[in-house]
Amino acid sequence: MDFGFEMVFFALLALVLFGPRKLPQIAREVGRFMAEFKRAGNQFQNQIHEEIRNMELEESINSVKNISAQAGEVISTVKDPNLVASAVGRLTDRIKTIPQYHEAQSWCRTRKRGAARARLDESSATSGGTTEAHN
């Protein structure tokens, strides 16, 4: 409601100051000024958005270049036969040690079982043989 009153007040003030003959011409000039101001604001906003898009594009291009450089390093590493051969050799050595480790664990388990059986036999011999003898 205040906005309507203010508009009416400014319209009457302009009518009194400039007169009825100059008021339409002044209104056209103000309209042109407002349109030009709006156009300049839109152009500035478009320039800002364009610069942001360019920066994002440059960032994307740089990350793609970094990724391709890293991929090139990986490919050159894989193409080097010495590295591949040494990696295969290390893998083969590891595979060869797996059964030995497994066999060592089996031997330990067997030894523990044997020791447990020997203790059981000793306890049976000292107690008189079987549990029926106690009855």
Please compute, for residue 46, the number of CA atoms within 13 A of its CA located in the half-sphere on the CB side. Answer: 6
Q: What is the pLDDT along the chain (135 residues), one digit of tens a residue?
A: 567 888 888 888 888 888 888 888 988 998 999 999 999 999 999 999 999 999 999 998 888 888 888 877 766 666 666 766 777 777 777 777 766 655 666 666 677 777 777 777 777 777 665 544 444
| C-alpha–C-alpha distance, residues 58 and 61, integer Å | 5
- Amino acid identity at 9: F
Q: What is the pTM of this model?
A: 0.41
* Cα separations in angstroms, 124 against 60, 110, 135: 81, 21, 15
